[in-house]
Amino acid sequence: MKPKSKVAVLVGSLRRGSFALMTAKAAVALAPPAFDCEFVGVGDLPLYNQDLEGEMLPAAWRRFRDAVRGADALLFVTPEYNRSVPGGLKNAIDVGSRPYGQSVWSGKPGAVISVSPGALAAFGANHHLRQSLVFLDVLPLQQPEAYIGGAASLFDADGALVNDATREFLTKFMAAFAAWIERVRRDVAPG
């Protein structure tokens, strides 16, 4: 039996009722049984400042770095702010990439889902995030791409996914992500 893949789920929106969070919860619910998903919060991380490394290291940074370091793979679900990722998610990327030479991101397979109430489905944030991930040596799933538009009509008042086409797409996306994780695990495994 294959070991479960521990997947760190990082949501770019800090709002409790965000469409990104609803989408992330729906994707996790539709994930294959081979996934063990853990939401890793980004909202409590102090802004990255190299002066805080060492003895003054914030406990939230340590918690975050340990959670991501212990993950086998990364799922990012983000809205778009000003054609990019929200500041909280960018800060988390910076916190995890430091100190130099000790990045928690390197070599992990990843996937990006962008979500928006608008028709462009956070296309800019999706690609901007991918640019950072490539630099950080995260191995992002290329296909299928996941742009979830019209999010305001996809969920009920309790945040449950009610759109069958989106449910079918997320199921296929998460299956493709599982296959990607296995491919990366096989291709980069020692020996």
pLDDT tens digits, residue range 145-169?
A: 999 999 999 999 999 999 999 999 9
Domain containing 115 — which CATH number? 3.40.50.360
Q: Give the structural domain span for 155.
A: 5-188
Residue 189 has pLDDT above 70, yes or no: no
Residue-wise pLDDT for 17-51, tens only, equals 999 999 999 999 999 999 999 999 999 999 999 99
**The model scores a pTM over 0.85:** yes
Counting the structural domains of the chain, the total is: 1
- Measured between alpha carbons, how far is residue 57 from residues 47, 68, 103, 109, 181 in Å? 12, 17, 15, 27, 32
**Angle at CA of residue 178, ends 175 and 183, nearest 5°:** 125
Residue 190 has pLDDT above 60, yes or no: no
Which two tokens mark 149?
A: 């538009």
> Per-residue confidence at 187, pLDDT binned at 50, 70, 90?
confident
